[in-house]
Amino acid sequence: MSDKQEVTKREETQLAPAMLPAVDIVEDETGISLTADLPGVPKEKLSVRMDGQNLLVEGEVVLDTPEGMEATYAEIRSPHYRRSFSLSRDLDPSKIDASYKDGVMRLRIPKAEHAQPRKITVQVT
């Protein structure tokens, strides 16, 4: 194998194709709720982490396939999901709450205390 081929191969592994999971994102007064569809990902293959200011969601699809099975038709063509979101500074990444059930992940990212809405009284002097 020539050098060029090796380099190309390495790049391919780094850029392993991944699907973007479908998400719903809703903001209310106290924080942001993020719901993502990750069908086929067992809980132990799901990873949610902060990378600097970015929230990175990754998952690996694990399907039970009988021996000798060949794909005859495929709409899901990658075993990986990956998506990242940049969080603004008014959110508190240390207090993210996550749950996962039946291929649906739910995250709650609360707003930092100082960013919660407050009413400012206008003082009349």
**Cβ closer to other proteins: 51 or 70?**
70
Minimum distance from residue 118 beta carbon to other proteins (Å)? 14
Rounded Cα–Cα distance for residues 80 and 38 (Å): 9
Minimum distance from residue 92 beta carbon to other proteins (Å)? 18
Strand partners, 47: 58
Interface contacts to other proteins, rule CB under 8 A: 4, 7-8, 11-12, 15, 17-18, 20, 22-29, 35-43, 62-78, 101-104
Rounded Cα–Cα distance for residues 45 and 63 (Å): 12
Rounded to 5 degrees, what angle do the CA atoms 46, 50, 52 make? 150
Minimum distance from residue 124 beta carbon to other proteins (Å)? 27
**Cβ closer to other proteins: 50 or 62?**
62
CA atoms within 13 A on the CB side of 96: 20
**Cβ closer to other proteins: 28 or 113?**
28
